[in-house]
Amino acid sequence: MLRQIALNTKMRWTPSNLMSGLQGLFKSSAEDDGSRERAALDDIRQAMLDCLGASGAAAYPQIQFRVTYASDIQELWYLRGDVMAVLSATDGEATARRKLARVSDLFKGHLPKGLATRPSPLGD
């Protein structure tokens, strides 16, 4: 008899138990997405800082500062133009394009569709 009561109380689903169970599932999924986005942000930021190098950061400290303290991936996306300008001035445009192409690949899957790079009509 006691065993039957224990089984009945374990299997009872009340609306509050159901909601807290579902919230727990979604919360852990959202936390995983947040940590994944944070890791991507850190990786992209580091790649951009590596591209700038010591000479670029010394010559253009404001760009290095903006990359270092960018708050999200979209902000880093928009800073690519500034990084390209610095790299072009210090390393030449061809080298800058190669370096920035590798950085741009890191953004895949982390931006809204409208911000993704499109194929160039110039064939590059």
Nearest one of 79, 77, 86 to 52, comparing CA atoms: 86
The predicted structure's pLDDT at residue 115: 73
pLDDT higher for 7 or 88?
88
What ranges do the domains of the chain cover? 33-110
- How far apart CA 30 and CA 23 sit, in angstroms, is 10
**1 falls in which pLDDT band (50, 70, 90)?**
low
Q: How would you label 71-88 residue by residue, b for 16+ Cβ within 10 Å and e otherwise?
A: eebeebbebbebbbebbe
119 has a pLDDT exceeding 80: no
- How far apart CA 97 and CA 22 sit, in angstroms, is 47
**110 falls in which pLDDT band (50, 70, 90)?**
confident
Residues 35-73 have pLDDT tens digits of: 899 999 999 999 999 999 999 999 999 999 999 999 999
Q: What is the average pLDDT across 90-112?
A: 93
Q: Are 108 and 43 in contact (CB under 8 A)?
A: no
24 has a pLDDT exceeding 80: no
78 has a pLDDT exceeding 80: yes
The predicted structure's pLDDT at residue 14: 56
The predicted structure's pLDDT at residue 117: 62
Mean pLDDT of the chain: 82
